[in-house]
Amino acid sequence: MRRTGNRTRILPGRIFALAMLGLMVGGLCWVSMPKRADADAPTAVASVIAIKGKLMLDRPGRGHYSAFVQMPDYINDQLTTDPKSVAAVEFAIGGRIGINRGSSIRIVGYRSATNASTGQMLRVNSGVIWAHFDKQKSPLIIQTRNSTIGIRGTEFLVDARDDSTTIDVFQGHVAYAPRLPGQAPEANPELPENASLAGPGERVVIKAALAAPVVNKYDVDRLRKEDAQRYNDLAGALVALGAIQNIAGWVPGGTPVACYAGYAATGVQVVMDPAQAARNFAANEVSSHVPFGGILGGVISSSGGSHSKKAPPFIVGLSPDQTTVDPHTLHFGWKPLAGAKQYVLLLSRQEHMNASNLDWSAQTSDTSVSYPQDGPPMIAGQKYYWRVVGIGANGKARGKASQTWLRTAPGSDHAGGQ
């Protein structure tokens, strides 16, 4: 079964340029990289920090399934957006990329043929990435079907197609060289010594059928604006994705960033057994409001007055709650929390959740969400903890988070997407 800112008149193009620069350099409410949790476990090299729509993951040995915000990424992971979706990824070496709709990338490790050193390579199989990387000690290699690109610290865009690669440079410099026709992607990923260099405002078009790349020079702001219009889905989403990043504030170890007015998450308290806590809260309410009397028809009465029952300052009605479930039909639900406009759900095999041990996450404006049929595989007979946090209109947590657990039924391995 399968589941799953001296005063200057700022032109419109410069406004977008500043917005994108602030976003890509200052951070799109970037979620912190997960830390290595186990000495024997593979080291995460990147982390998914934003998804608008659907992002699919291909991981050797794990299959094909939906990625989620805060998901760690490893060497050989392939990430693919569908025709209507965009996403963003942060790299541990210091860099961030936005992945356009209908695009596919793979994170690859390689060994130098000249000095036996190892490094990371980003293979853009198809589509568009808009990226900013911090200054690197050695070039980060990016490959497309017909080009090899070396990055030491720059902001740039790559549009990879079957017959051509376009490189737009907004900041810093990019080294590039055409790839030999028919050369396997794994063959000598390093840049040749005669690689060319492109600087800010330059657009390089590399075509397999041409003897040499075509280079055009533009005003940087014009180039940014043109790309923003051409790839409006990606550019617009990168500016607007801040709301989706709120999850960073609710994951211990995440790094919330004030990327829009009112967002200032500083952590949240967690009620570990909300059902029992609700019963205790109700009992305390009775004892504090009814020193001499009792409860009449659901209304608390004392000394000639009445008090309506107060709702607990945390989310109640979690389901499933401390029970065994079939992961193929797993549905999460809870009662609404006053003032909450959104809810973040976190799932982990660890009771004390942090940014490195999440198995899945979701954000919704509803009070329920189903585990996706193409979601990450779940293990049969495994205990999972799940937490839900209410978020107000100002981007802050409402009250306390609530957490309970479930166990998957024995023999019910959830295979995830294939």
For the ranges 15-24, 49-58, 272-281, 366-375, the lowest mean pLDDT is seen at: 15-24
Domains 12-242 and 270-408 share a fold: no
Least confident of 128-142, 295-309, 336-350, 359-373: 295-309
pLDDT at 247 over 70: no
pTM of the entire predicted model: 0.72
Cα–Cα distance for residue pair 290/280, rounded to 1 Å? 15
* pLDDT above 60 (res 237): no
pLDDT the model gives residue 121: 86
What's 89-147 look like in SS3? EEECCCEEEEECCCCEEEEEEEECCCCCCEEEEEEEEEEEEEEEECCCCCCEEEECCCE
Residue 325 predicted with pLDDT over 80? yes
Average pLDDT over residues 49-69: 87
Q: Sketch the domain layout of the chain as residue ranges.
A: 12-242, 270-408
What is the pLDDT at residue 297?
Answer: 37
What would the mean pLDDT of 237-248 be, rounded to a whole number?
43
pLDDT digits (tens, 9 = 90+) for 89-107: 888 888 888 899 999 999 9
Q: Is pLDDT above 50 for 188? A: yes
12-242: which CATH topology? Jelly Rolls (2.60.120)
pLDDT of residue 185: 57
Q: Which amino acid is at 118?
A: T
H-helix or E-strand spanning residue 282: helix 274-289
Name the most confidently modeled range: 173-182, 324-333, 358-367: 324-333
| DSSP 8-state secondary structure symbol assigned to residue 376 | P
The arithmetic mean of pLDDT across residues 370-384, rounded, is: 93
Options 3.40.50.300, 3.30.70.380, 1.20.1250.20, 2.60.40.10; CATH for 270-408 is: 2.60.40.10
